[in-house]
């Protein structure tokens, strides 16, 4: 059947990067199994088992499966109803000298679980530099608009002013925590190693005639060959599924950061203050030709919700494992782990696209400030009148009356906020009229927002991005080439 006749995951067929899709492909999975069998044989040979060098050489020469071998494996699995044993037989077919030694002493989880741990680590290795690029792009945006005043919102109601750049630092800070969490999860990963059918290493103890030291050395050596810092000290048949919770929780936390930022951008698009990238020939609506929908941010929100909810699969799977293991984790993890990583990968691609093309409309932002600032500035006016010799309570009453009059114009008549004109025209406020423009300067209402941006970027963002300088430079070159 063609791809048109079967359902395909939009994550792999439409959205995710080639690298992430390839990581969770059958070719990568089964090739990794062969690497695991090879390194197990190498370590067993080093520790004295009579495995001929020819067997090692043949295994090394056939780590990649071609189409014919994939077909043979599919036929074997259909016959044997066991995917690992199907691949043991096919590997032995192309490496006959190794056939007696492939999978020696191991259980299926030696290849399936160790491979999954390898994929978790490689997946995090793919995500980390992409997240660093998003942070770096947002940092440039924050720096550019560090001192552009904008309305702050609490309860989605106009509040004290902030700056466009300062608001962006709130998004960046979330992503910095995600960068830390992903790196910690990556560095904490251990290897299942060689543990046997129930984690007791009984089969390997028999292979080495009861030599406990050699069994420990085998576990350490296989772990070393795959570059993991340690082997898990104890396991059942599988590695504890709590590791999946740890990894997927970092992806779920990242999804919340993406959801928060994309939601903010959608709201700002509604206010027409900020717009996400919009291509020249892009269509916002099939019916309403004028529309410029924030479809990238909307897609981020939809996928982020999906990613956040995959964590529950990992939580229930670990909690539902019986004793040393049951098989109800298998089908679930075949879905939840690859799709979580592919979704995170897609989100980072979308976020990079958004952050590289955000458009800011200062005139619209100023219009919104002008509509609200007169009310916010009343305290400044009162303080200036007191300094000019006025009575605070009397001044407050004058301001209160004029504010209510201006609010009526705005709310009941749909007019512009004319509070400042009313103040200018009221003889009572004559002492401060020459200073009104200064008192109404939006930058005087943003506090330390610009300085906070500068300090945050210098003290927190730059050190966090330093380990990813090479990837950031590569991404910058790619952006220039587009």
Q: Which CATH class is domain 108-155+164-189+239-360?
A: mainly alpha
Query: Is 155 a catalytic site residue?
Result: yes
Kindly report the CATH number that applies to the domain delimited by 18-98. 1.10.275.10
In angstroms, the CA 324 to CA 316 distance is: 16
**CB-CB contact of 264 with 171 (8 Å):** yes
Active-site annotation holder among 13, 25, 61, 285: 285
The residues spanned by each domain of the chain are 18-98, 108-155+164-189+239-360, 378-439
In angstroms, the CA 472 to CA 465 distance is: 9
In angstroms, the CA 265 to CA 304 distance is: 14
In angstroms, the CA 127 to CA 190 distance is: 19
The pair phi, psi for residue 239, each rounded to 5°, is -70, 150
CA distances from 418 to 395, 401, 409, 430 (A): 18, 13, 8, 17
Within its chain, how far is the Cα of 107 from the centroid? 34
- Write out the two tokens for 54: 């020819």
Active-site annotation holder among 2, 3, 155, 286: 155
Q: What pTM value is reported for the model? A: 0.86
In angstroms, the CA 253 to CA 179 distance is: 11
What pairing do the DSSP bridges indicate for beta strands 157-163 and 359-360? unpaired
Domains 18-98 and 108-155+164-189+239-360 share a fold: no
Kindly report the CATH number that applies to the domain delimited by 378-439. 1.10.40.30
**CB-CB contact of 65 with 73 (8 Å):** yes
Cα angle 162, 413, 155; round to 5: 30
Burial of 175 (0-12, 13-18, 19+ CB in 10 A): buried
The pair phi, psi for residue 277, each rounded to 5°, is -55, 140
CA distances from 106 to 49, 180, 195, 300, 460 (A): 14, 35, 8, 43, 47
pLDDT in tens, the chain (482 residues): 456 677 677 777 777 788 988 898 889 999 999 999 999 999 999 999 999 999 999 999 999 888 888 888 888 778 877 888 888 888 888 899 999 999 988 888 899 999 999 999 999 999 999 999 999 999 999 999 999 999 888 888 877 899 999 999 999 999 999 999 999 999 999 999 999 888 898 999 999 999 999 999 999 999 999 999 999 999 888 889 899 989 999 999 999 999 999 999 999 999 999 998 865 544 454 444 445 788 899 999 999 999 999 888 878 788 778 887 887 777 778 888 899 999 999 999 999 999 998 999 999 999 998 888 877 777 788 888 888 888 889 888 888 898 888 888 888 888 888 888 888 888 888 888 888 888 788 888 888 999 999 999 999 999 999 999 888 888 777 766 65
């Amino acid at each position: 059947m063609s791809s048109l006749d079967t359902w395909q995951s939009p994550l792999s067929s439409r959205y995710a990067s080639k690298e992430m899709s390839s990581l969770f492909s059958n070719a990568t999975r089964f090739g990794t199994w062969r690497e695991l069998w090879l390194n197990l044989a190498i370590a067993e040979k080093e520790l004295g088992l009579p495995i001929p060098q020819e067997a090692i050489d043949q295994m090394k020469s056939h780590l990649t499966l071609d189409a014919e071998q994939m077909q043979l494996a599919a036929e074997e699995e259909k016959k044997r109803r066991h995917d690992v044993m199907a691949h043991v037989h096919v590997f032995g077919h192309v490496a006959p000298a190794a056939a007696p030694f492939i999978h020696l002493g191991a259980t299926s989880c030696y290849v399936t679980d160790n491979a999954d741990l390898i994929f978790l680590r490689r997946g995090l290795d793919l995500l980390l530099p992409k997240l660093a690029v998003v942070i770096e792009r947002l940092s440039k945006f924050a720096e550019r608009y560090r001192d552009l005043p904008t309305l702050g919102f609490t309860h989605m109601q106009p509040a004290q002013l902030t700056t466009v750049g300062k608001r962006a630092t709130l998004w960046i800070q979330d992503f910095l925590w995600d960068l830390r969490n992903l790196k910690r999860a990556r560095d904490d990963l251990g290897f299942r190693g060689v543990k046997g059918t129930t984690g007791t290493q009984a089969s390997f103890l028999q292979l080495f005639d009861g030599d406990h030291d050699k069994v420990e050395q085998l576990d350490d050596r296989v772990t070393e060959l795959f570059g993991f810092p340690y082997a898990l000290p104890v396991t059942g048949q599988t590695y504890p599924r709590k590791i999946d919770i740890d990894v997927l929780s970092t992806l779920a936390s990242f999804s919340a950061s993406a959801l928060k930022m994309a939601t903010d951008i959608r709201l700002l698009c509604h206010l027409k203050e900020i717009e996400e990238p919009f291509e020249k020939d892009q269509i916002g609506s099939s019916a309403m030709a004028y529309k410029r929908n924030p479809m990238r941010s909307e897609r981020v929100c939809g996928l982020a919700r999906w990613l956040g909810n995959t964590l529950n699969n990992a939580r229930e799977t670990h909690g539902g494992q019986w004793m040393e293991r049951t098989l109800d984790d298998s089908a679930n993890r075949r879905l939840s782990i690859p799709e979580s990583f592919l979704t995170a990968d897609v989100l980072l691609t979308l976020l990079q696209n958004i952050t590289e093309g955000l458009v800011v409309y200062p005139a619209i932002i100023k219009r919104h400030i002008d509509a609200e600032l007169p009310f916010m500035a009343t305290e400044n006016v009162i303080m200036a009148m007191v300094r000019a010799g006025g009575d605070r309570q009397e001044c407050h009453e004058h301001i209160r009356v004029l504010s209510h009059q201006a609010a009526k114009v705005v709310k009941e008549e749909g007019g512009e906020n004319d509070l400042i004109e009313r103040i200018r025209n009221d003889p009572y406020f004559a002492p401060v009229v020459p200073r009104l423009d200064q008192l109404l300067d939006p930058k005087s209402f943003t506090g330390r927002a610009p300085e906070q941006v500068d300090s945050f970027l210098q003290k927190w963002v730059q050190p966090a991005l330093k380990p990813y300088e090479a990837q950031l430079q590569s991404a910058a070159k790619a952006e220039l080439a587009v």
